[in-house]
Amino acid sequence: MSVHTDPTEQYNLITKGLQEVLNGQIIKDILEKEKRPVRIYLGTAPTGKPHCGYFAPMIKVAHFLKAGCEVTILLADLHAFLDNMKATLETVKFRSKYYEFIVKAILKSINVPIEKLKFVGGSEYQLSAEYTLDIFKISNVVTQNDAKRAGADVVKQVANPLLSGLIYPLMQALDEEYLGVDAQFGGVDQRKIFVLAEEQLPSIGYKKRAHLMNHMIPGLGQGGKMSASDPNSKIDIVEEPKNIRKKVNSAYCAPGDVKDNSLLSFLEFVVQPIQELLADKDGVFKFDIDRPEKYGGPISYTSIEQLKEDFQSEKLSPVDLKAGVAEKIIELLAPIKAEYDSNPEFQAAEKAGYPVDQPKGEKKVKKVKNKGSRYPGGKPEGAAAEAEVAKVAEKVEDVKLE
């Protein structure tokens, strides 16, 4: 993979295909005046299993590396733990390892050199005295409403939010300083947290960063993003081919509808950019559909625009589009699945991070909750919370990522 050195080319590659850029001038100044690599970080909280939507940020990581940037992937284990404490810190540690395997496997599958990537676990620095003091400082300048609004598109919204959900955006802002970056990259759903970081970091003496926002990959249903918490909206990275075909076949795909169509979005924001990366050339696109002879025979597209036109005019049916997309996803995931199948450590991280019997236990716990369980006097939950805190206190020193 050739690395660009011209500042204009570098900036164009860093911002290529993004939905929005905040404070792009910060990046331009680094490239043109300071003449050094731009330091960018992407944070991911290891909660549910990574899905096909992860290809989109990995494509941008490839662009950043090609532009000569220094890229850090933050495996936000403490953020994941703060997600209503659905999993212990020990379980989250294994999930972090699984995410690292997934990220590396995706990048290797699209020929991106992973030796230039840096992986950092949140617990490596977020439990330090300095970071804790900064949490208190930023808590002193951010209101409850500001914190709630910042996390509106990321943290689950409830009438009586937990403090952890309000601390989450503050930690994400502070991570920019502690990771020593010039810019943070994420989906456009992170925008409100990015704005909070820009507005509030200077108030505690830290510099403002640039923010890069990607398009969100729609879920397989009607509306909404592909989400790890909704099994029906996503295709896992190590999904079996028969399950991929089944999920794609049941995806929302109304005849002629090109706007609310997750399959077309996947082709536009994942498949074409990967093909452009591999060919090192813009505008490359090849999409084959093995259509039965009685319906016109096999068809091949070399333009995403032509594909959209044919679908909009109903020259191409949803059944045929689904068939082609399912096979393309299977093709993309094949090298990652092969890596998983041949790596016992990869498999062990998944098994320990996502125990098969865990969902049943979670459902039982949820059934006994009631609206008042978070208030003083909610003894059953209070006792459970105390027990969890005691366990965490014992484990905190052991959960730093290796």
Q: What does the pLDDT look like over 168-211, one tens digit per residue? A: 899 999 999 999 999 999 999 999 999 999 999 999 999 999 99
Q: How far is residue 373's CA from residue 91's CA, in Å, rounded to a whole number?
A: 25
In a domain, 351, yes or no: no
Same domain as 209, residue 127: yes
Q: Verify that 312 and 363 share a domain, yes or no.
A: no
* Residues 56, 138 share a domain: yes
Give the H or E element holding residue 9: helix 7-15
Average pLDDT over residues 140-152: 90
- What is the CB-side half-sphere exposure of residue 115 using CA atoms within 13 A? 1
Query: Which amino acid makes up residue 190?
Result: Q
Helix 318-342 to helix 89-109 angle, to the nearest 10 degrees? 110
Does residue 193 lie within any of the structural domains? yes
Lowest mean pLDDT among 151-155, 156-160, 398-402: 398-402
Where does the pLDDT of residue 228 fall: very low under 50, low under 70, confident under 90, or very high at 90 and above?
A: low
Asked if the structure places residue 80 within a domain, the reply is yes
Q: Given a cut of 50, is residue 341 above it in pLDDT? A: yes
pLDDT in tens, 312-338: 999 999 999 999 999 999 999 999 999
- pLDDT grade, residue 154 (50/70/90)? confident
Mean pLDDT score, 244-265: 91
223 in any annotated domain: no
Q: Are both 319 and 246 inside the same structural domain?
A: yes
Give me the domain span that covers residue 368.
Answer: 357-397
- Name the pLDDT band for 223 (thresholds 50, 70, 90): low
Which pLDDT score, from 0 to 100, does residue 224 have?
64
Residues 127 and 199 in one domain: yes
Same domain, 289 and 384: no
Dihedral, 62, 219, 189, 271 alpha carbons, nearest 10:
20
* Span 229-237, average pLDDT: 76
What does the pLDDT read at residue 400?
Answer: 44
Residue 55 and residue 123 in one domain: yes
CATH number assigned to the domain comprising residue 267:
1.10.240.10
Q: Based on the domain organization, do 112 and 243 belong to the same domain?
A: no
pLDDT higher than 70, residue 289: yes
The CATH number of whichever domain residue 144 belongs to comes to 3.40.50.620
Do residue 282 and residue 178 come from a single domain? Answer: no
pLDDT of residue 366 exceeding 90: no
Q: What pLDDT shows up at residue 75?
A: 95
168 & 35 share domain: yes
> If you ran DSSP here, which 8-state letter would residue 47 be given?
-
- Classify residue 221: in a domain, yes or no: no
Burial of 25-54, coded b for 16+ CB within 10 Å and e otherwise, reads ebbbebbeeeeebbbbbbbbbbbbbbbbbb
- Look up the pTM and report it: 0.82
In this predicted structure, the answer to whether residue 347 has a pLDDT above a threshold of 80 is yes
Q: What is the pLDDT of residues 39-97, one digit of tens each?
A: 999 999 998 899 998 999 999 999 999 999 999 999 999 988 877 567 888 899 999 99
225 part of a folded domain: no
pLDDT at residue 365 greater than cutoff 90: no
- Which among 54, 53, 71 is positioned nearest to 13, based on CA atoms? 71
The predicted pLDDT at position 230 comes to 64
220 in any annotated domain = no
Q: In the chain, what percentage of residues exceed pLDDT 70?
A: 84
Residue 222 lies in a domain: no
Residue 162: pLDDT band (50, 70, 90) is confident
Residue 182 is given by DSSP the state S
Q: With b meaning 16 or more CB within 10 Å and e meaning fewer, what string describes 369-383?
A: eeeeeeeeebeebee
Of 214, 248, 276, the residue at which a domain comes to its end is: 214
Domain boundary among 181, 214, 247: 214
Listed residues 156, 180, 214: the one ending a domain: 214
Across the range 247-252, mean pLDDT stands at 91
Query: How many domains, in total, are found in the chain?
Result: 3
Residue 375: is its pLDDT beyond 70?
no
Per-chain mean pLDDT for the chain: 86
- For residues 16 and 154, membership in a common domain is answered with yes
- Clarify whether residues 282 and 181 are in a common domain: no
